Amino acid sequence: MHIPDSFIPLNQAIAYWVIAIPFIFMSMKWAKNELDEMKIPVLAALSAGIFAIQAMNIPIGMGTSGHMVGATLVAIVFGSPWAGVLVLTLVLLVQGFVFADGGITTLGANILNMGVISGFVGYYTYVALRKNTSISIAALVGAWLGLFISAIACSVQMWIAGTFPLVPGLMAMGLYHLIIGFIGEGLITAIVIAAIAKSRPDLLENNSTIKPGKSKKGARA
């Protein structure tokens, strides 16, 4: 999922940066307006956890690897996909510049895939499903779909770059992330969100998926 520098030509990498920068800017604006002394420690803890789980890479082939992302989890906890963009941007910056995991020129593409696509797809899938199903199932499906779509986007980007053929890339990245997305990303997100909903519903206070008139403590888990 981390695209190395050599996998995308510089001109294409710049294009992905141009697309990603407005999202990064909006995530910083969200942080300025929404984060306070109570929420910053939660954001920091989630960032550390996501950094740790992303260290577990599963080799896929053709120079690629699969792993969990975590953008949907952050987005659900803070009730906004901008939180997912912010955390993944910070995590990917540290990984790229300090640990050389992923590229520097391709950071724009990696942020776009793992922060923007995974976070937005996962969160709004969760929001849509939460209206008619439990918080656990909504979180599982949202996280699973967000990871899968971001893997597909990664495959398409590397096909455009000429790194590897489209169909084998889609098969490799798509199949592995379908599995990783359910067993890892989906289940972990569902378990964490369900546990928070039961033990610390106040942490989900920004989550607009709780219907008006219903107590957050009464949310289904």
Residues 93-129: tens digit of each pLDDT: 988 887 767 778 999 999 999 999 999 999 999 999 9
Question: Could you give the 3-state DSSP secondary structure of residue 178?
Answer: helix
In this model, does residue 219 exceed pLDDT 70? Answer: no
The mean pLDDT value of the chain amounts to 84
For residue 76, pLDDT over 60 is answered with yes
**Mean pLDDT calculated for residue range 76-92:** 94
State yes or no: pLDDT of 73 exceeds 50. Answer: yes
Higher pLDDT: 219 or 160? It is: 160
Share of the chain above pLDDT 70, in %: 85
Annotation: CATH topology of 5-218: Arp2/3 complex 21 kDa subunit ARPC3 (1.10.1760)
Question: To which residue do tokens 């971001």 refer?
Answer: 150
- Say what the pLDDT of residue 26 is: 96
Reported pTM:
0.85
Between 165 and 212, residue with greater pLDDT: 165
pLDDT category at 61 given cuts 50, 70, 90 is low
pLDDT of 173 reads 81
Over residues 200-214, the mean pLDDT reads 55
- Reply yes or no on whether the pLDDT at 12 is more than 70: yes
202 vs 160, higher pLDDT: 160
- 177: which residues sit within 8 A by CB, 6+ positions away? 1, 66, 147, 148, 150, 151
Residue 163: both structure tokens together: 């790194």
Mean pLDDT within 29-55: 87
Contacts of 166-172 with CB under 8 Å at 24 or more apart are 168/62, 169/62, 169/64, 172/60, 172/61, 172/62, 172/64
Comparison of pLDDT for 158 and 212, the residue scoring more: 158
pLDDT of residue 214: 42
What is the mean predicted confidence (pLDDT) over 197-203?
A: 81
Answer for the pair 62, 164: CB distance below 8 angstroms, yes or no.
yes
